[in-house]
Amino acid sequence: MMDEVTATIPHWRGGERWTGAGDRAGDVYDPATGRVSGRVPFASGEEVAAVVAEAVVAGEAWAAQSLTRRTAVMFAFREAVSRRREELAAAITAEHGKVLDDALGEVQRGLEVAEFACGAPHLLKGEFSDGVSGGVDVYSLRQPVGVVGVISPFNFPVMVPLWFVPIAIACGNAVVLKPSEKDPSASLLIAECWAEAGLPPGVFNVVHGDKVAVDALLTHEDVAAISFVGSTPIARYVYETGTAHGKRVQALGGAKNHMVVLPDADLDQAADAAVSAGFGSAGERCMAISVVVAVEPVADGLVEAITTRMGGLTTGDGREGADMGPLVTGAHRDKVASYLDAGVADGARLVVDGRGVEPSGAADGFWLGPTLFDDVRPGMSVYDDEIFGPVLSIVRAASYDEAVALVNASPYGNGTAIFTTDGGAARRFQREVTVGMIGVNVPIPVPMAYYSFGGWKASLFGDTRAHGTDGIHFFTRQKVVTSRWPDPAERGGVDLGFPRHT
Assess 178 for contact with ligand NAD (CB under 6 A). yes
User: Per-residue x/- marks for ligand NAD, 442-471, CB under 6 A?
Assistant: -------------x---x------------
Assess 253 for contact with ligand NAD (CB under 6 A). yes
494 Cβ neighbours under 8 A, 6+ residues apart: none
> Does residue 66 contact residue 186 with C-beta atoms inside 8 Å?
no
Minimal distance, residue 14 CB to ligand NAD, in Å: 22
From CA 59, how far away is CA 431, in angstroms rounded?
A: 42
Residue number with CB closer to ligand NAD (160 or 336): 160
Assess 255 for contact with ligand NAD (CB under 6 A). yes
From CA 12, how far away is CA 16, in angstroms rounded?
A: 5
- For residue 261, the Cα-to-chain-centroid distance in whole angstroms is 26
Minimal distance, residue 285 CB to ligand NAD, in Å: 7
**Cα-based distances in Å from 302 to 133, 185, 240, 270, 425:** 66, 40, 42, 8, 19
338-377: which residues touch ligand NAD (CB under 6 A)?
A: none
Assess 180 for contact with ligand NAD (CB under 6 A). yes
The residue number with the shortest CB distance to ligand NAD is 230
Assess 414 for contact with ligand NAD (CB under 6 A). yes
Minimal distance, residue 332 CB to ligand NAD, in Å: 8
CB atoms within 10 A of CB 492: 9
Active site residues: 286
From CA 96, how far away is CA 90, in angstroms rounded?
A: 10
Assess 207 for contact with ligand NAD (CB under 6 A). no
Binding test (CB under 6 A) with ligand NAD, winner from 386, 396, 406, 419: 386
From CA 316, how far away is CA 453, in angstroms rounded?
A: 31
Minimal distance, residue 413 CB to ligand NAD, in Å: 10
From CA 275, how far away is CA 206, in angstroms rounded?
A: 36
**Cα-based distances in Å from 360 to 282, 310, 312, 344, 368:** 15, 16, 14, 27, 12
User: Per-residue x/- marks for ligand NAD, 277-316, CB under 6 A?
Assistant: ---------x------------------------------
Assess 94 for contact with ligand NAD (CB under 6 A). no
Assess 234 for contact with ligand NAD (CB under 6 A). yes
Binding test (CB under 6 A) with ligand NAD, winner from 108, 231, 269, 430: 231
Q: Which long-range contacts (CB under 8 A, 24 or more apart) does 418-426 make?
A: 418/259, 418/260, 418/262, 419/259, 419/260, 419/261, 419/262, 419/265, 419/266, 419/269, 419/270, 419/273, 420/261, 420/262, 420/264, 420/265, 421/264, 421/265, 421/266, 422/262, 422/264, 425/262, 425/264, 425/400
114-153: which residues touch ligand NAD (CB under 6 A)?
A: 151-153
Minimal distance, residue 455 CB to ligand NAD, in Å: 6
Binding test (CB under 6 A) with ligand NAD, winner from 15, 144, 149, 230: 230
| Beta strand pairing call for 136-144 and 128-133 | antiparallel
- Judged by DSSP in three states, 16 sits in strand
Residue number with CB closer to ligand NAD (171 or 207): 207
Q: Which stretch binds ligand NAD (CB under 6 A): 57-65, 226-234, 353-361, 393-401?
A: 226-234
Residue number with CB closer to ligand NAD (41 or 172): 41
According to DSSP, the residues that pair with 374 across neighbouring strands are: 349
148-177: which residues touch ligand NAD (CB under 6 A)?
A: 151-156, 160
CB atoms within 10 A of CB 44: 19
Residue number with CB closer to ligand NAD (74 or 223): 223
Assess 388 for contact with ligand NAD (CB under 6 A). yes
Residues in contact with ligand NAD by CB under 6 A are 151-156, 160, 178, 180-181, 210-211, 214, 229-231, 234, 252-255, 286, 386, 388, 414, 455, 459
